[in-house]
Amino acid sequence: MGSGGPGHGNPGAPAQPLQRCDAAAAQWAVGKTNTVQHVEEARRRSGALMARVLRPGQATTLEFNAERLNLLVDATGRFTTASCG
């Protein structure tokens, strides 16, 4: 009875703290090329749990995620913006 799904976690376990994204810490990536190393370094510096690269005209989800770093690239593959959400 009652395993899995929302609300069925271990009630004695402490809640996992959010890994808040700090976009200011990832601004060094702006102007750099889109490489795995640069994405990971920007993610690490920002403190985000995850990162995604967004290309011009790409469809994206609109939900805000405080643990996610968004890196926008231009047509040449260089980062133009680093933001959280």
What are the pLDDT digits (tens) for 58-78? 998 889 999 999 999 999 999
Neighbours of 41 (CB within 10 A): 16
In tens, the pLDDT along 9-44 reads 455 655 565 779 999 999 999 999 999 999 999 999
Q: Would the pLDDT of 4 be above 70?
A: no
pTM of this prediction exceeds 0.85: no
pLDDT of residue 18: 72
- Cα–Cα distances in angstroms (integers) from residue 30 to residues 38, 39, 61, 73, 82, in the given order: 10, 11, 22, 9, 7
The arithmetic mean of pLDDT across residues 36-59, rounded, is 96
Q: Tell me the residue type at 38.
A: H
pLDDT of residue 61: 85
pLDDT of residue 37: 98
